């Protein structure tokens, strides 16, 4: 803007002429990083061509890593299910986890949710999968998988206690005169 030759100084004005969004890969990584606090696996899937990126993290840590990329998400998921899912959950998972079912659920309910068990070190762990469409990119989905093992085990314990209470109540009703 100005120059002072005596002091050999100059004044500058900086103006931002335009602001553009970050590239789509960067913004997806930022979204995934934000979700890493709750999810240990995140998938970004392009429904047009089934290309995907799998991100992994230590849930709660915030650090996220691009684990793998692929071209055929739904077939890769079948392979993963056969290797990683707890045997009793495989059949129902493979029956439900189909592209058509997922799209229908998202259209009707806004998301697709599924609980199942993964096996790591021979121990089954309950997880919950949630799938949602990207707000601005309707042909792209984000899939998050979180561990819900503690909640499910607590629910199982409560169900067992309720069943035992009902059984003892029936026994007491039938044998009240006997006691």
Q: What's the pLDDT at 41? A: 85
**Average pLDDT of the chain to the nearest whole number:** 80
Could you read off the pLDDT of 63-107 as tens digits, one per residue? 566 678 999 999 999 999 999 999 999 999 999 999 999 999 999
pLDDT of residue 23: 53
Residues in the chain: 179
Higher pLDDT, 14 or 115: 115
Q: What is the dihedral of CA 26, 29, 30, 35, to 10 degrees?
A: 170
Element (H, E) at 173: helix 149-174
Residue with tokens 């120059």: 3
What pLDDT score does 170 carry?
A: 72
Inter-CA distances, 126 with 30, 80, 142, 161, Å: 27, 16, 20, 20
Mean local confidence (pLDDT), 126-130: 91
Compare 52 and 26 and report the one with higher pLDDT.
52
Q: What are the CB-based long-range contacts (under 8 Å, 24+) for 114-118? A: 115/148, 115/152, 116/85, 116/86, 116/89, 116/92, 117/85, 117/86, 117/88, 117/89, 118/84, 118/85, 118/86
Q: What distance, in Å, lies between the first and last C-alpha atoms of the chain?
A: 101
In DSSP terms, 51 is beta-bridged to 46
The pLDDT of residue 35 is above 60: no
Identify the helix (H) or strand (E) that includes residue 90. helix 87-96
């Amino acid at each position: 803007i100005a120059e002072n030759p005596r002091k050999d100084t100059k004044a500058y004005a900086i103006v931002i002429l335009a602001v553009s969004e970050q590239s789509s890969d960067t913004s997806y990584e930022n979204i995934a990083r934000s979700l890493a606090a709750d999810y240990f696996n995140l998938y970004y899937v392009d429904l047009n061509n089934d290309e995907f990126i799998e991100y992994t993290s230590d849930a709660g840590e915030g650090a996220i890593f691009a684990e793998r990329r692929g071209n055929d998400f739904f077939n890769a998921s079948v392979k993963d299910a056969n290797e990683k899912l707890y045997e009793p959950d495989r059949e129902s998972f493979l029956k439900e986890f189909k592209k058509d079912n997922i799209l229908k659920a998202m259209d009707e309910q806004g998301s697709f949710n599924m609980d199942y068990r993964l096996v790591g070190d021979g121990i089954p762990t309950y997880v919950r999968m949630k799938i949602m469409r990207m707000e601005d990119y309707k042909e792209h989905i984000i899939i998050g998988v979180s561990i819900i093992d503690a909640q499910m085990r607590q629910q199982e314990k409560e169900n067992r206690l309720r069943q035992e209470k009902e059984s003892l109540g029936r026994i007491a009703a039938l044998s009240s005169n006997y006691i």
